[in-house]
Structure 1
Amino acid sequence: MTVQSVAVVSVPVSDQDRAKAFYVDKLGLKLVREDDSIPGLRWIQVAPDGGGTALTLVDWFEQMPPGSVQGLVLRTDDLDADYKTFSANGVPFDGPPEQQPWATEAVLHDPDGNMIVLQQA
């Protein structure tokens, strides 16, 4: 057996509704699944429109406090346009896109302070 892909990455948040609104309404990810069939656990999963690795917005991992994710990379094909759109929608960036040796990147933060790198290769 061989690992084929990364299916889900957990992103710790303090308020799942606020996080869902941010990732769906501000970043444009799609709501893939929302399920509260297990008592005390609400599963909210979002993903890019084209599929790929999904994010689960979690509030139940004691060892993963909200805001503890640093360096989650989301790829885009038009960083300048996304930076302008997201900034206009109130997404907080550390600064404008910067060219790095490996790609052009801009760093943003979700409402809990999780650091996300928006990257155009």
Structure 2
Amino acid sequence: MTETTKGTRLSELGRVAVTVTDQDRALDFYLGTLGFDKRADIPFGEGHRWIEVGPSGGGAGIALVLPQNCEDAGGSGSGPSTETGIILTSEDIDADHATLRKAGVDTDPEVMRWGAPVPPMFSFRDPDGNAIMVVSEE
């Protein structure tokens, strides 16, 4: 490594993966309930699928993957949730919280507000218990 070389050539966060037990059910949730776009649904190997979804505004996608070996999917929908570390941005946090609750999504009971400089936020869980945080863009 020369003195002018600065680490790797890694350039951006392209996608994150969440484990799901049923890719079709997860796809329906992310597309139908959250309004995400389907970016990929590609069969590969013996009966496997590579599925990516994401907000229509762009940015990193979410790959909906089946568990590998003895790995569990998310919180499996019945136990404790699994923190994914995924944080989405909302233009209207109160409206998005209300929309998700009305759709029957497992959300925090209310939007959390700690005051400046912390933005309002809440979390929700997908059908497999994968927890995703939503933060106001304000």
Q: How does 1:90-105 map to 2 (within 5 A)?
A: 90-100=104-114, 101-105=117-121
Tell me the residue number matched to 1:83.
97
Asked if the contact 2:108/2:122 (under 8 Å) is kept, the reply is: yes
The CA RMSD measured in Å over matched residues stands at: 1.7
Percent identity between the two aligned chains:
34
How many aligned positions are there? 121
Corresponding residue to 2:52 among 32, 45, 56 = 45
Normalised by the size of structure 2, how large is the TM-score? 0.79
Asked if the contact 2:19/2:73 (under 8 Å) is kept, the reply is: yes
Normalised by the size of structure 1, how large is the TM-score? 0.89
Task: Name structure 1 gaps, 5 residues minimum.
Answer: none
Residue 72 of structure 1: CA displacement? 1.9
> More deviation in 30-39 or 16-25?
30-39
Distance in 2 (alpha carbons) for counterparts of 1:64 and 1:102: 34
- Flag the structure with larger Rg: 2
Distance in 1 (alpha carbons) for counterparts of 2:29 and 2:15: 18
Q: How does 1:1-121 map to 2 (within 5 A)?
A: 1-62=8-69, 64-67=71-74, 69-70=82-83, 71-100=85-114, 101-121=117-137
Residue 64 of structure 1: CA displacement? 4.4
